[in-house]
Amino acid sequence: MRLRAIVLAAGKGTRMKSAIPKVLHEICGRPMLWYTVAALREAGIDDVIVVTNDELEARIGEFRVRSIVQREQLGTGHAVKVALDALPRFDDGRIVIAYGDMPLVPAAIFRETADALDSDGAASMALVTVKMPLPSNFGRIVRKGADVERIVEARDASAGELAIDEMNAGIYAFTEGELRDAVANLKNDNAQKEYYLTDAVEHFVRQGKRVRPVPAADHLHVLGINDRTELAKARREMNARICERHMLDGVTIVDPQTTYLEPELRIGRDTVIYPGTTVSLLTEIGEGCVIGPHTRISDAKIGNGVTVRESVIVQSEIGDGSVVGPFAHIRGHAKLDGDNRVGNFVEIKNSHYERGVKSAHLSYLGDAEIGEETNIGCGTITCNFDGSQKHKTVIGKNVSIGSDTAIVAPRTIGDGALTGAGSVVTKDVPPGGRVAGNPARPLAPKAKPSDR
Ligand code: UD1
Ligand code: MG
């Protein structure tokens, strides 16, 4: 049986007071629409169609869904009709409908709603209901025994109906032929002069067909985002969920409320994350690491047993056993092979440290290749930019770069070489070479006893 989902996201989202379409506002680093599409896919619904407006249509490519533009927003029922008119017809198929402003809906709820159509005698429509504290702007569920008889929008409700605390969450499943029939018959004789999808309930009940409620356990699961206070609430809830998943997988998160995670991270067990830490994009962190406090790691790969304190790591790789921080900034495709030490106030950009390289204090290493076990003294700078172009610095193995060395790139310093404190290196240094001064010159060979 064909199962498709239609996500309604063409509304103007006026209460966000924003130039950006509502469903593109982010929670935990992803647009809210991303979560709805991901949850539908997780529920086994691969064919997802999003109803967009012109602004959203311009950005819909990133979601890898089919989209249909609803030019005029005449209501949720109209949005569904516009979508169905543009889709091939499968009368005995099933259609799940979701609203794009509800990013917290777990996959299980979509699955359960779709399954409810066929359980316990066929129904024409299933819909998620939720008990919610009053007052609320949600549509009210008017029941007739175990079934739903009507949904009344808050704006159209009588005082008695407003006292009902069972609400329409805004998640539905239909058999397709019946849905097509229902939306073709909707009227807009209500307070907003809109075609309400929710009026499909009365359409079915009039024909003696069944509408089955699917109660949701937690009203946070169906939180609809209409303004930025709700956006913040949803972020908090989503972050708590992501943290919980990692904690259950063996990660210690000292304070989930001040640890900001995103949905697609991999974090190994026995890693400990301290407060004030943000981990984002497709970052992978290995096992037994210590991360934070006050650290930002984005789109990075961190090995096993790595310590990162009060530092920023962006688009870079840190190998096993390395110690970073406090106050280091590693960025721009830097790669540290492992057992590295990067200390206070060190910036590394687009550089490669082989195993055991150390730069413990106050340095800038940009566009550099550094060989095994080399020590970069405090205050070292690779002068990689000549005002118009970037140049490379190559430093060999077991080199000792003295404190406050400036290396004017492009430059090569051979294996086992040494620069004295305060050197300004303007010429290549051969393997084993020893230079010092400004500009750096070879040091006189050490006096041998026979020279005296
Ligand atoms: C809707 C429900 C209400 C439910 C609530 C849950 C209707 C009539 N009412 O009300 O019963 O309790 O959701 O959050 O459905 N949209 C379009 N095109 C349109 C109009 C809306 O795509 O022409 C989209 C919006 O972008 C939004 C969704 O449909 O994602 C819901 O619309 P919204 O205006 O937010 O409906 P609510 O008033 O919240
Ligand atoms: Mg809404």
Separation CA 432–CA 194 (nearest Å): 82
Cβ of residue 78 lying under 6 Å from some atom of ligand 1: yes
What is the residue-averaged pLDDT of the chain? 96
Ligand in closest contact with the CA of 148: 1
- 323 Cα: distance to centroid of ligand 2 (angstroms): 47
Average pLDDT score over residue span 17-40: 97
- 76 Cα: distance to centroid of ligand 2 (angstroms): 10
Q: Is the pLDDT of residue 61 over 90?
A: yes
Residue 343's pLDDT is what? 94
Average pLDDT score over residue span 153-158: 94
95 vs 121, more confident? 95
- 99 Cα: distance to centroid of ligand 1 (angstroms): 7
Residue 119's pLDDT is what? 83
| List 219, 294, 361, 391, catalytic entry | 361
Q: Whose C-alpha lies nearest to ligand 1, atom 8? A: 196
If one residue of 51, 53, 99, 222 were mutated to test the ligand 1 pocket, choosing by the most ligand atoms within 8 A of its CB, it would be 99
Separation CA 296–CA 307 (nearest Å): 13
Residue 126's pLDDT is what? 97
Q: Is the pLDDT of residue 81 over 80?
A: yes
If one residue of 25, 74, 76, 113 were mutated to test the ligand 1 pocket, choosing by the most ligand atoms within 8 A of its CB, it would be 76
For the stretch 355-383, pLDDT in tens is: 999 999 999 999 999 999 999 999 999 99
Cβ of residue 51 lying under 6 Å from some atom of ligand 1: yes
pLDDT band, very low/low/confident/very high, at 258 (cuts 50, 70, 90): very high
Cβ of residue 70 lying under 6 Å from some atom of ligand 1: yes
Looking at the chain, the whole-number percentage of residues with pLDDT higher than 70 is 99
Residue 344's pLDDT is what? 97
Cβ of residue 377 lying under 6 Å from some atom of ligand 1: no
Q: Is the pLDDT of residue 436 over 70?
A: yes
Cβ of residue 151 lying under 6 Å from some atom of ligand 1: yes
Ligand in closest contact with the CA of 32: 1
Select the CATH number that applies to the domain covering 3-222 from these four: 2.60.120.620, 3.90.550.10, 1.10.569.10, 2.40.50.140. Answer: 3.90.550.10
- Catalytic-residue membership of 361: yes
Average pLDDT score over residue span 195-216: 95
Residue 191's pLDDT is what? 87
Average pLDDT score over residue span 22-49: 97
pLDDT band, very low/low/confident/very high, at 447 (cuts 50, 70, 90): low
Top CATH class of 228-451 equals: mainly beta
Q: Whose C-alpha lies nearest to ligand 1, atom 12? A: 138
Average pLDDT score over residue span 196-221: 95
Ligand in closest contact with the CA of 138: 1
Domain boundaries, the chain: 3-222, 228-451
Cβ of residue 172 lying under 6 Å from some atom of ligand 1: no
Ligand 1 atom closest to 13 (CA): 26
Average pLDDT score over residue span 96-119: 96
Residue 57's pLDDT is what? 97
Q: Is the pLDDT of residue 452 over 80?
A: no
Separation CA 229–CA 239 (nearest Å): 16
Average pLDDT score over residue span 201-206: 96
Separation CA 172–CA 309 (nearest Å): 47
Residue 1's pLDDT is what? 81
Ligand in closest contact with the CA of 99: 1
Average pLDDT score over residue span 199-215: 95
Q: Is the pLDDT of residue 437 over 90?
A: yes
For the stretch 326-351, pLDDT in tens is: 999 999 999 999 999 999 999 999 99
Residue 337's pLDDT is what? 98
Structure tokens at 382: 């690779």
Q: Whose C-alpha lies nearest to ligand 1, atom 37? A: 138
Residue 445's pLDDT is what? 74
Q: Is the pLDDT of residue 304 over 80?
A: yes
Ligand 1 atom closest to 99 (CA): 30
Average pLDDT score over residue span 305-320: 98
Cβ of residue 101 lying under 6 Å from some atom of ligand 1: yes
